[in-house]
Amino acid sequence: MVEQAIQREASVSQLRCIGCGRTALPDRFRCEHCRDLLEIIFPGWQQSGPGRLNALSLKKLWLDRKRSFEPADQSGVWRFREILPEIAAGQIISIREGNTPIYQLPHCAKSAGIQQLFGKHQGMNPTGSFKDTGMTVAASFARQAGYKWVACASTGNTSASMAAYAARGALHSLVLIPDGKISWGKLSQSLDYGAITCQLKTDFDGCVRVLNEVVERMPVYLLNSVNPYRVEGQKTAAFELLEQFNWEPPDHIIVPGGNLANSSAIGKALREMKQIGLISRLPKISVIQAEGANPLVRSIRENGGEKLIPVHADTMATAIRIGNPASWKKALRVILESEGTVEQVSEVEIALAKAEIGAEGVGCEPASAVTLAGLKKLVKRGFVKPHESVVLVLTGHVLKDADFTLKFHRGDLFDGTPQEKESGALKPYQRSPLVLEPSVDAVIDLLNAAEKKNSDFLRVP
The answer to whether residues 252 and 282 touch, using CB atoms and an 8 Å cutoff, is no
**Closest by alpha carbon to 96, among 69, 61, 72, 120?**
72
pLDDT in tens, 357-392: 999 999 999 999 999 999 999 999 999 999 999 999
Cβ-based neighbours of 121, under 8 Å, separated by 6 or more: 100, 101, 102, 103, 362, 364, 394
Whole-number pLDDT of residue 11? 54
Phi, psi (deg, nearest 5) at residue 112:
-80, -20
The answer to whether residues 389 and 399 touch, using CB atoms and an 8 Å cutoff, is no
β-pair type (14-17, 23-24): antiparallel
Q: Which amino acid is at 141?
A: F
Q: How far, in Å, CA of 227 to CA of 356, rounded?
A: 34
Q: How far, in Å, CA of 199 to CA of 208, rounded?
A: 12
pLDDT in tens, 208-226: 999 999 999 999 999 998 9
The answer to whether residues 345 and 288 touch, using CB atoms and an 8 Å cutoff, is yes
Phi, psi (deg, nearest 5) at residue 41:
-125, 165
**Closest by alpha carbon to 407, among 390, 420, 389?**
420
- Facing residues of 252 across strands? 284, 390
pLDDT in tens, the chain (461 residues): 333 433 444 457 899 999 999 999 888 889 999 999 999 999 989 888 898 999 999 999 999 999 999 999 999 999 999 999 999 999 999 999 999 999 999 999 999 999 999 999 999 999 999 999 999 999 999 999 999 999 999 878 999 999 999 999 999 999 998 887 677 778 899 999 999 999 999 988 899 999 999 999 999 999 998 999 999 999 999 999 999 999 999 999 999 999 999 999 999 999 999 999 999 999 999 999 999 999 999 999 999 999 999 999 999 999 999 999 999 999 999 999 999 999 999 999 999 999 999 999 999 999 999 999 999 999 999 999 999 999 999 999 999 999 999 999 999 999 999 999 999 989 999 988 888 999 999 999 988 887 876 544 444 44
**Closest by alpha carbon to 183, among 145, 208, 156?**
156
**Closest by alpha carbon to 257, among 295, 227, 206, 202?**
295
Q: How far, in Å, CA of 89 to CA of 42, rounded?
A: 19
Q: How far, in Å, CA of 146 to CA of 140, rounded?
A: 10
